[in-house]
């Protein structure tokens, strides 16, 4: 299992480093891809330090700006998200100190920060709205996965949950790699069909609030 | 073209456009999984920078993966994405990576250091054969002498008549020479250990080592092949075979006695009086290391 996880981590790391390399060469659009990839996790992490949604967004923006300013010094020794996680934690704590609030004494570990089951103390900061949004998102995705045909469901689960490579999935499912690629793609398309309305309605709601 | 044909063409065009879009999204799916070939990945990343719909798809699929893996994430609306993009665009300084150039410099300096060490090592190893050069040249000279030629590569048998001093010199030279020749890549400690534990090899290699003995020592008077005492003839330099240079001329240097006179050691620090007569021979004085008069 460790080997499987390391394989997935390596693939993710290579893609991130390619994007970072592009940003370091002056391509700011590549940084937008990194933002879109990690902003939900970063907002979720900062939301465990700050209750206010507006503050949360400000700190998330500050986090990405700091990362952008310092990305020239990123050497690729660690994963990009590990580096970004550290910046987010420091920015959130600095924000609390600057507003005369006491930051938590113990930091959120990167593994704990990504699991629903742990870190219950800091999750108390979650507002009902955020919690509802998260639950809706999770239920939508799980429902979409449950509705998939079996071969698509198995393929997407082996890839996203177990972290297997296409070659390993092809061996497990006894089919060509091209078929695995196609099945995972079709599974994502089907899940995306369910996710898109939820996200669009969320965007509309936030736009309405901003216009008021 | 009938209206039906036109509709059919439109359907075909839409279908082919969908196919292209599907192919691009299929590539995007493989890119997210790190399974897209490098050249295609570069092309698709370039396209992602300009295709908003594809970027939105990238974001949703990343979020979908996070949810499936059980990672905590809150859907940050488009507003936050746009805010961050605007803030990044307004940044005056574009981050550059001095790291890559430093890395190349580090690699270059490391390579230069390695090359210099290799050059020193090459220079030092090149010196070793020059030190041992007489060992390879002396037999050739002996073979060119009509008195001793032809020399048979006789089987080596230890001679009981060999004096103890010559045997010691031969052994010492062999000890120093055998390990280096047998294992040129050994370390010094390994060579010394090999020399200590191989007396048999030393006995076999000793005559060769005798040939490598320096001139003027008693070992030089031992035939390297038969082990017998031999009297080496004078080897004037320049050679007597050169017609223009006399063998016993004033510029001739020898390593033995010439015309019954003992050898005069050549000292580079003292001027030689060419016209001075040779000193009278002293009985028993054969030490070539005696100071020059």
DSSP string, B74-127: ----HHHHHHHHHHHHT-SSPP--HHHHHHHHHHHHHHHHHHHHHHHHHHHHHH
Tokens standing for residue A11? 């693939």
CA dist B145 → B28, B123, B149, B247, B249 (Å)? 86, 35, 6, 15, 20
Buried b or exposed e, range A116-154, using 16+ CB within 10 angstroms = eeebeebeeebeeebeebbeebeebbeebbeebeeebbb
Q: How far apart are CA B222 and CA B161, in angstroms?
A: 11
Cross-chain Cβ contact A203/B78 below 8 Å: yes
Task: Kindly indicate the confidence band of residue B5, based on its pLDDT and cuts at 50, 70 and 90.
Answer: low
* Cα angle for residues B33, B35, B38 (degrees, 5° grid): 125
Chain B nearest-CA residue for A34: B59
Tokens 């060999």 belong to residue: B162
Taking an 8 Å cut-off on Cβ atoms, the answer to whether A64 and B61 are in contact is no
Q: Which two tokens stand for residue B146?
A: 């009509």
Check CB contact under 8 Å for A116 and B72: yes
The number of beta carbons lying within 10 Å of the beta carbon of residue A94 is 14
Our CA-based measurement puts residue B33 at a distance from the nearest CA of chain A, in whole angstroms, of 7
Task: Tell me how far apart the terminal alpha carbons of chain B are, to the nearest angstrom.
Answer: 123
Buried b (16+ CB within 10 A) or exposed e, B92-110: eeebebeeeeeeeeeeeee
Q: What phi, psi does B253 have (nearest 5°)? A: -115, 135
Mean pLDDT of successive 10-residue stretches along chain A, which has 212 residues:
58 87 90 93 89 89 94 88 94 89 68 50 61 86 95 95 93 95 95 89 67 59
Q: Tell me whether residues A69 and B91 touch, CB distance under 8 A.
A: yes
**Chain A nearest-CA residue for B83:** A61
Residue B273 has pLDDT above 60, yes or no: no
User: Which neighbouring-strand residues pair with B123?
Assistant: none
pLDDT of residue B205: 46
The distance from CA B53 to its chain's CA centroid, rounded to whole angstroms, is 58
Q: Per-residue confidence at B27, pLDDT binned at 50, 70, 90?
A: very high
Cα B240 to Cα B249: distance, rounded to the nearest angstrom: 10
Query: CA B118, CA A162: separation in Å to the nearest integer?
Result: 49
Do B77 and A113 lie within an 8 Å CB cutoff?
no
Cα B142 to Cα B31, B162, B170, B230, B235, distances in angstroms: 78, 20, 19, 11, 10
Q: How far apart are alpha carbons A108 and A90 in whole angstroms?
A: 11
CA-CA distance, B104 to B247, in Å (whole number)?
64
Asked if the model's pLDDT at residue B223 lies above 90, the reply is no
Q: What pLDDT sits at residue A77?
A: 85
Exposed/middle/buried for residue B222 (C-beta within 10 Å: 0-12, 13-18, 19+): buried
pLDDT in the model for residue B287: 44
Tokens of A32: 């937008």
Q: Rounded to an integer, what distance in angstroms lies between the CA atom of residue B152 and that of residue B224?
A: 11
CB B252 within 8 A of CB B237: yes
Q: In whole angstroms, give the CA distance from residue B7 to residue A209.
A: 44
The more confidently predicted of residues A3 and B16 is: B16
pLDDT digits (tens, 9 = 90+) for B172-218: 444 444 444 444 445 555 555 655 555 545 444 444 444 444 444 44
8 Å CB contact of A188 and B70: no
What residues in A contact B25, CB-CB < 8 Å? 185, 189
Cα–Cα distance, A152 to A78 (Å, whole number): 33
Higher pLDDT, B150 or A187: A187
Chain B hits for A29, CB-CB cut-off 8 Å, are: 49-50
Sign of CA dihedral B184, B186, B189, B191: negative
Q: What is the pLDDT of residues B55-111, one digit of tens each?
A: 999 999 999 999 998 876 677 777 888 899 999 888 876 666 654 555 556 667 778
For B25, the closest chain A residue by CA position comes to: A185
Within 13 Å of residue B189, how many CA atoms lie on the same side as its CB?
A: 0
> Phi, psi (5° rounding) for residue B246?
-70, 145
| For residue B260, pLDDT beyond 70 | no
pLDDT at position B168 over 70:
no
**Cα A210 from chain centroid (whole Å):** 25
pTM of the predicted protein model: 0.56
- Cβ partners under 8 Å of residue B157, min gap 6: B227
Q: Where are the alpha helices (DSSP H) in chain B?
A: 3-32, 38-48, 52-68, 78-89, 98-131, 133-144, 164-182, 188-196, 199-211
Q: Tell me what the pLDDT averaged over chain A comes to.
A: 84
Chain B contacts of A137, Cβ < 8 Å? Answer: 63, 67, 75
Going by C-alpha positions, the residue among B243, B219, B245, B242 that lies closest to residue B232 is: B219
Indicate the range of A41-50, A75-84, B112-121, B253-262 predicted with least confidence: B253-262
The yes-or-no verdict on residue B243 having pLDDT over 50 is yes
CB contact under 8 A, A35 and B84: yes
Q: Which residue of A has its CA nearest to B82?
A: A32
ipTM for the predicted complex comes to 0.85
Nearest to B67 among A8, A119, A137 (CB): A137
pLDDT of residue A14: 86
Please give the angle made by the CA atoms of B282, B288 and B291, to the nearest 5 degrees: 85
Q: How high is the mean pLDDT of chain B? A: 63
Q: Among B31, B61, B79, whose Cβ lies nearest the Cβ of A210? A: B79
CB contact under 8 A, B80 and A43: yes
- Determine the average pLDDT of the residues in B230-256: 57
d(CA B277, CA B288): 19
Residues of A in contact with B91 (CB under 8 A): 65, 68-69
């Amino acid at each position: 299992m460790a080997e499987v996880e390391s394989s997935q981590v390596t693939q993710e790391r290579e893609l991130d480093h390619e994007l970072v390399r592009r940003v370091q060469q002056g391509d700011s659009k590549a940084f937008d891809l990194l933002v879109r990839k990690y902003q939900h996790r970063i907002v979720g992490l900062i939301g465990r330090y700050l209750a206010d949604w507006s503050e949360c967004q400000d700190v998330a923006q500050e986090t990405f700006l700091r990362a952008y300013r310092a990305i020239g010094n990123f050497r690729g020794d660690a994963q990009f998200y590990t580096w970004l996680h550290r910046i987010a934690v420091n920015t959130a704590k600095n924000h609390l100190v600057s507003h005369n609030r006491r930051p938590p004494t113990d930091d959120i570990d990167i593994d704990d920060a990504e699991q629903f089951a742990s870190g219950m103390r800091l999750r108390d900061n979650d507002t009902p709205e955020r919690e509802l949004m998260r639950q809706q998102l999770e239920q939508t995705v799980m429902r979409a996965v449950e509705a998939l045909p079996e071969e698509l469901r198995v393929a997407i689960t082996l890839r996203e949950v177990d972290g297997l490579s296409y070659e390993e999935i092809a061996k497990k499912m006894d089919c060509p790699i091209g078929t695995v690629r196609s099945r995972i793609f079709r599974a994502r398309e089907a899940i995306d069909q369910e996710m898109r309305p939820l996200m669009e309605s969320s965007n509309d709601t936030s736009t309405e609030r901003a216009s008021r | 073209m009938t209206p039906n044909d036109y509709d059919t063409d439109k359907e075909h065009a839409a279908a082919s456009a969908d196919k292209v879009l599907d192919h691009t999204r299929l590539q995007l799916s493989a890119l997210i999984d790190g399974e897209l070939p490098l050249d295609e990945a570069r092309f698709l990343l370039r396209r992602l920078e300009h295709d908003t719909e594809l970027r939105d798809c990238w974001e949703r699929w990343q979020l979908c993966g996070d949810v499936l893996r059980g990672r905590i994430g809150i859907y940050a609306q488009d507003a936050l994405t746009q805010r961050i993009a605007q803030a990044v665009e307004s940044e005056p300084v574009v981050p550059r990576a001095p790291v890559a150039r430093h890395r190349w410099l580090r690699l270059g300096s490391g390579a230069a250091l390695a090359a210099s060490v290799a050059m020193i090592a090459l220079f030092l190893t090149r010196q070793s054969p020059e030190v041992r050069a007489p060992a390879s040249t002396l037999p050739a000279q002996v073979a060119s002498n009509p008195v001793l030629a032809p020399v048979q590569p006789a089987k080596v048998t230890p001679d009981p008549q060999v004096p103890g001093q010559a045997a010691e010199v031969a052994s010492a030279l062999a000890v120093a020479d055998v390990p280096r020749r047998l294992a040129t890549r050994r370390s010094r400690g390994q060579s010394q250990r090999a020399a200590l534990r191989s007396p048999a090899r030393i006995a076999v290699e000793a005559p060769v080592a005798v040939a490598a003995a320096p001139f003027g020592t008693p070992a030089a008077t031992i035939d390297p092949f038969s082990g017998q005492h031999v009297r080496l003839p004078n080897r004037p330099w320049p050679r007597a075979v050169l017609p223009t240079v006399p063998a016993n001329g004033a510029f001739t240097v020898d390593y033995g006695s010439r015309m019954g006179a003992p050898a005069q050691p050549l000292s580079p620090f003292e001027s030689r009086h060419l016209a001075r007569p040779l000193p009278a021979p002293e009985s028993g004085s054969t030490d070539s290391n005696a100071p020059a008069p």
